[in-house]
Copies of this chain bind each other. A is one copy, B any other.
Amino acid sequence: MKYAFAQRTRNFQSSAVRDILKVIDQGNIISFAGGLPDDDLFPLEAVEEAYKRVFESGKHSLQYGLTEGFILLREAIAERMAQRKNIRMDTQNILLTTGSQQAIDLFARIMLNPGDIILTENPTYLAALQVFQSYEAQVIPVESDAFGMLPEDLEKKMKTHLPKFVYVVPTFSNPSGKVWSLERREHLLRLAKKYNVIIFEDDPYGEIQFDEAANYTPIAALDNGETVLYTSTFSKTVVPALRTGWVMGPYQIIRMMAQAKQAADLHSSSIDQQALYYLLRDFDLNGHIAVLRAVYKERMHAMLNQLQRLDLPGLEYVVPQGGMFFWVSLHEKINTKSLLPKAIEKGVAYVPGSPFYVEEPKHNTFRLNYTHSVPEKIEFGMSQLVSVLEEAYEAITTDKALTEI
């Protein structure tokens, strides 16, 4: 039998990351590929306690729940966001989702007609690109530097393209690890208001900051509640298997997303949402996050040490101030996708950079995760990777192009 799939499936792409993860899962490989937190740091006992509380609360806790999500958890998130992020919104402005991935999807679903335009950073989160493409939208990249989108290019593209929204990961961006300056955040918001464009602020990594004293103000905290949708998740701070994220913003939009969610899956697991509520109530999550910050910072340095030893033409990277990734550029003759099988052969994996690009992928880039492995493994894995890279550079030195550098 022949199956006539919908037009939109032509734009479907399987995630490069998840496909690599599948291969890696089968072998004994040190993986810098996924955006995985470290299992060993999971607060297993606190999670188990939290589920106990759910079951103690009686059988009604196992009944169908609200599409918007467990109300006590939404209240706790509202409070937490006010305290930690200075984002002040009511419970009714919050929708609980199956990870922040679903927040991106539901927002795209209620906003995008085929052909609609979205502005993004470039490179940007590839699974967001997957979503936008699946709704047949057109993604246009805005030029950026280390501090965020460039004001002139941003305004030009807002004016010319009248985008439906701007999608940004301004704090420890995936994949580039960048942090936007406050000035650029304010500028984006100002333009968004001027041109009546919504900002979708994706902030999964914001809590993983290495400088405890630093203050990275979310764009949503600068807004009056009209222009910014803000999404985050407990996947990086508690555990991923809970699949509990949230999105907060203008009520009119949240309500429409809730209607879309009603059709999409009625509601997310309410056992998990209730457990998370008890965990936030009874567990010192902020203390736990402080530990994560310290441990991940140490791992970032372990990886940085290895990168600093490399003396390769064209090598570039930014030292992350938080989040989970190094974003590395190599000499333009190096193709990181072709190189990956060799790396895997040597027992180490990364994600090639090209799928993160909107247009004209840079094939000489890759992303390294440092949160999933202990420093000793990072050192060994990096030494393996270094030998793969050095070999690749040797191969291209026969080429004139390199000797000209």
Contact = CB atoms under 8 A, between A and B. Distances in A.
A109 B61 CA distance: 31
A390 B271 CA distance: 42
Contacts of A3: 198, 250, 252-253
A87 to B, nearest CB: 17
A171 interface: no
B64 A34 contact: yes
Contacts of A240: 62-64
Interface in A12-27: 12-15, 18, 22
Contacts of A4: 111, 164
Interface stretch (A37-45, A287-295, A322-330, A396-404): A37-45
A42 B14 contact: no
Interface stretch (A93-101, A206-214, A297-305): A93-101
B241 A265 contact: no
Contacts of A268: 98, 243, 269
A264 B260 CA distance: 12
Nearest to A240: B64
Interface stretch (A127-135, A144-152, A356-364): A127-135
A227 B272 contact: no
Q: Contact residue range for chain A?
A: 35 or more
Interface of A: 1-9, 12-15, 18, 22, 34, 36-37, 39-40, 42, 44, 47-48, 51-52, 55, 58-67, 97-99, 101-102, 105, 109-113, 116, 127, 130-131, 134, 164, 193, 196, 198, 226-227, 235, 239-243, 250, 252-253, 256, 259-260, 262-272, 274
Copy total for this chain: 2
B259 A14 contact: yes
B63 A264 contact: no
Contact of A272 (B13, B102, B235, B272): B272
Nearest to A106: B264
Given A18-B67, A112-B6, A266-B127, A1 B226 contact: yes
A256 B13 CA distance: 10
Contacts of A58: 44
Contacts of A59: 39-40, 42, 44
A163 B39 CA distance: 48
A227 B3 CA distance: 9
Contacts of A66: 22
A279 to B, nearest CB: 12
A38 to B, nearest CB: 9
